[in-house]
Amino acid sequence: MTGIGATPAEDVFGRVIPRINGTVVELHGDLDLATIDMLQDCLTVGVERGGDMLVDLADVTLIDGAALSVLVRAGRVAQRRGQRVQLMAPSLFVRRILAAAELGEAFPVIDDPKTPAPT
């Protein structure tokens, strides 16, 4: 499945996959100012689908402050709707960026999609 309303660039960047109890948003490459609009689109679709959202960061190579801000906003919107956002398999680099931004505890992190994150 390709991204919802996806352009060819979004297909490379990420995709939104509906699941029974929520949505998986798979992201790839750099999450930075150049990709912020696509990131916002993917996360908005994920939240609007309802249920919990699992953001797969396994293939993310870089994340900057602009992307972190979009992720935090999506998390807040989801929380207001009674949903939660979980991060799956972020690299050590991404984990360090989250920790440096004091967001290490903001999102549950899971390394295996079959293992539920703590609530």
Q: Give the residue, 96 or 4, on which the prediction is more confident.
A: 96
Let me know if residue 83 belongs to a domain.
yes
Let me know if residue 2 belongs to a domain.
no
Let me know if residue 19 belongs to a domain.
yes
- Mean pLDDT of the 74-101 span: 94
Residue 47 to residues 8, 61, 72, 78, Cα–Cα distance (Å): 22, 23, 12, 6
Helices (H), 14-60: 36-48
Distance, in Å, from the CA atom of 86 to the CA atom of 53, rounded to the nearest integer, reads 6
**Is 4 a residue whose pLDDT tops 50?**
no
Kindly report, residue by residue over 22-79, the tens digit of the pLDDT. 999 999 999 999 999 999 999 999 999 999 999 999 999 999 999 999 999 999 999 9
Let me know if residue 116 belongs to a domain.
no
- Mean pLDDT of the 7-18 span: 65
Q: How many CB atoms lie within 10 A of CB 10?
A: 20
Let me know if residue 88 belongs to a domain.
yes
Let me know if residue 39 belongs to a domain.
yes
- Cα 12 to chain centroid distance, Å, stands at 15
Let me know if residue 80 belongs to a domain.
yes
CATH number for 36: 3.30.750.24
pLDDT of residue 64: 94
Let me know if residue 99 belongs to a domain.
yes
Q: How many domains does the chain have?
A: 1
> Where in the sequence is the domain holding 95, given as residue range(s)?
8-109
